[in-house]
């Protein structure tokens, strides 16, 4: 009888421990559906709950600037956001100008667990326009972003570099709308070309295909390798993206054509990260990150572009870490990546 009681007690304790672990609740924020940050976060919520590590209560459709402040202030535990926002928060610039000197203290309370990108700024245009290179944008109407913000700045800069100096309003007519109007712009002919972040493959390219075949125009290789472009790509919030045609997900006869000297798409990327509160405990972060790493093969299969957004790449140049970006990985995340055999850049670790 004592043996039976002991066995039941042991089983009850084990069940209680498992339940307690699975019921650890963490608040999470991410973007609207249809991109890699949302995909990453919903995958993370799925696999951590499945493994009994934590329950992520995910709020979708959040503004990344607000999410960055929320995780810094401890109002959220895990978020997704572009790395440029960590830089701007630290400096008290742009959307965080109201934070002033307080921005640096807030940024220090935010650490990363995993990097990836949201695609790259791609110049796409209907074949019927005859545009096959950046220089063909001369005097054309080009949608290059929303009315203000980092995306518009990046769109203009990419055209500036890719064309060898074209400026919005001087060499071409820049056309801006909010993001919600972009689907109409892709098909209604209001712009002859569009400079917009695209994954590989991209829903935006597929949307434009309703008007006919589409060209995706790579930054010319000589410009890509120039000193000026390399400096631009290494600036905080930027990262290089290179994808071979055969990995872009379209294929021959698809109606999509890559314009490139050597079959490689090159363009500035949009580096993102999933962040946590810096004071989130080591073991929890390590367990979450380890489960993420173990399920990356599954993650890559959740979307057609899953294999091209660097979910499993930690290289500092490819991710935009280090240099002018002070963002560090949480120590728990570092431990998980290194135990899985990955090399975490020293410059991205807390010293």
Across 64-73, 75-84, 129-138, 147-156, least confident range? 147-156
Identify the structural domains of the chain with CATH numbers, from first to last.
Answer: 23-118+271-348 (3.40.190.10), 120-270 (3.40.190.10)
* Residues 179, 174: Cα–Cα separation, whole Å: 15
Mean pLDDT of the chain: 92
Residue 8: the pLDDT is: 38
Residue 23: the pLDDT is: 65
Cα angle for residues 221, 225, 229 (degrees, 5° grid): 110
Crossing angle for the helix pair 282-294 and 36-50, to the nearest 10 degrees: 110
Residue 343: the pLDDT is: 98
> Which residue has tokens 């742009």?
94
Mean pLDDT, range 7-16, rounded to an integer? 38
Mean pLDDT, range 183-207, rounded to an integer? 95
* Residues 81, 63: Cα–Cα separation, whole Å: 9
CA-based R_g, the chain, Å: 22
Residue 86: the pLDDT is: 96
Residue 12: the pLDDT is: 39
Across 4-18, 131-145, 252-266, least confident range? 4-18
Residue 151: the pLDDT is: 85
pLDDT digits (tens, 9 = 90+) for 17-54: 444 345 689 999 999 888 999 999 999 999 999 999 99
pLDDT digits (tens, 9 = 90+) for 244-276: 999 999 988 999 999 999 999 999 999 999 999
pLDDT digits (tens, 9 = 90+) for 146-165: 988 778 988 999 999 999 99
Q: pTM for this structure?
A: 0.86
Q: Decide which of 95 and 123 is more confident.
A: 123
pLDDT at 13 over 80: no
Mean pLDDT, range 218-228, rounded to an integer? 96
> Which residue has tokens 């798409």?
265
* Residues 88, 322: Cα–Cα separation, whole Å: 15
Instruction: Yes or no: say if 208 and 124 are a contact pair by the CB < 8 Å rule.
Output: yes
Residue 122: the pLDDT is: 94
Mean pLDDT, range 329-341, rounded to an integer? 98
């Amino acid at each position: 009888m004592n043996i039976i009681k002991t066995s039941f007690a042991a089983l009850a304790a084990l069940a209680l421990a498992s339940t307690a672990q699975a019921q650890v609740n963490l608040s999470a924020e991410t973007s609207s559906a249809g991109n890699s940050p949302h995909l990453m976060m919903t995958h993370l919520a799925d696999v951590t709950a499945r493994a009994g590590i934590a329950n992520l209560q995910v709020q979708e459709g959040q503004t990344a600037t607000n999410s960055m402040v929320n995780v810094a202030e401890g109002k959220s535990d895990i978020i997704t956001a572009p790395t440029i926002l960590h830089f701007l928060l630290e400096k008290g610039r742009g959307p965080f100008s109201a934070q002033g000197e307080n921005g640096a203290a807030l940024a220090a309370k935010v650490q990363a667990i995993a990097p990836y990108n949201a695609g790259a700024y791609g110049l796409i245009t209907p074949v019927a326009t005859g545009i096959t290179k950046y220089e063909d944008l001369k005097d054309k109407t080009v949608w290059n972003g929303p009315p203000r913000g980092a995306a518009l700045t990046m769109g203009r800069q990419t055209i500036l570099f890719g064309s060898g100096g074209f400026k919005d309003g001087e060499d071409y007519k820049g056309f801006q709308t909010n993001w919600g109007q972009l689907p109409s712009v892709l098909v209604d002919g209001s712009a002859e070309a569009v400079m917009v972040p695209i994954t590989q493959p991209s829903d935006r390219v597929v949307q434009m295909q309703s008007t006919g075949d589409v060209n995706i125009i790579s930054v010319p290789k000589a410009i890509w390798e120039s000193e000026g472009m390399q400096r631009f790509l290494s600036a905080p919030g930027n990262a290089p993206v290179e994808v071979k045609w055969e990995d872009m997900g379209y294929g021959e006869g698809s109606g999509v054509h890559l314009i490139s000297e050597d079959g490689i798409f090159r363009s500035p990327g949009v580096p993102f990260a999933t962040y946590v509160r810096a004071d989130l405990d080591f073991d929890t972060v390590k367990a979450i990150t380890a489960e993420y790493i173990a399920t990356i093969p599954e993650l890559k299969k959740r979307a057609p572009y899953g294999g091209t957004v660097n979910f499993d790449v930690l290289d500092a140049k490819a991710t935009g870490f280090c240099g002018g970006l002070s963002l560090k990985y949480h120590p728990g995340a570092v431990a998980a990546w290194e135990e899985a055999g990955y090399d975490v850049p020293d410059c991205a670790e807390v010293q």
